[in-house]
Amino acid sequence: MSRRVARSAAGFAAVGALLFGAAPALAQDEVVDPAQWRVRQEIVDYAFSQIGAREDGPNGYPLKYQAIDPAIRRPVEWCGIFVNWVWTKAGVKDKPAMAPAPGAPGVDQGHWATYWQKWGQQNGKWRPLSSGEAEMGDVIVYGEYPSMFAHVGVVVEVAYDRTGRHATHIRTVEGNVSDRVVYTKWRKISDLANGAGLKVSGFVSPF
């Protein structure tokens, strides 16, 4: 099956057509994998369910994000914890560990936002921003490993170009933004590495 889960956002490609004037088309050789499609839908549903969730103190994110794994720390900067919780609740089996392996650098764990980039590269799940390969359910990574000036979130909506293969716009749900979980506006892929602030390096696929 295609690793793209057959334009897992066929519906969102249609959204893109309405919003941005594109006329999306599915590639004829792409076939939906129902199990992966369900997981991606679950990722989006869990992410949406948390919009507005707030801290109860400095970096005191909701306790349920910690409850899924004893390796998760609290209080701590928690964008990586949020995406780990979403992926875990949705049934993603293979994801960054929330503690470094014996002998590994301390940054090599899922609390460290840019480790998601390194982990994705090592496991064949990394999609650089320049590829235009973004799917709903992916983790969006801001920054480059091993920088501490970084952030991660969850891709929840995608609009595609006329081929249906390359993302043109995305929306995300992200934790630890102004001490809460937020839902971003539509943003152009081409703008994510430009302008002020953190630059997006790419996306990590759950499959």
CA distance 64 to 85: 8
> What pLDDT, in 10s, does the model give residues 42-91?
999 999 999 999 999 999 999 999 999 999 999 999 999 999 999 999 99
Please tell me the pTM assigned to this model: 0.88
Reported CATH class of domain 10-204: alpha beta
Contact between 92 and 43 (Cβ < 8 Å): yes
Contact between 14 and 165 (Cβ < 8 Å): no
CA distance 156 to 75: 26
Does pLDDT of 172 surpass 50? yes
> What pLDDT, in 10s, does the model give residues 13-30?
444 444 554 434 444 445
Domain boundaries, the chain: 10-204
Cα Rg of the chain, angstroms? 16
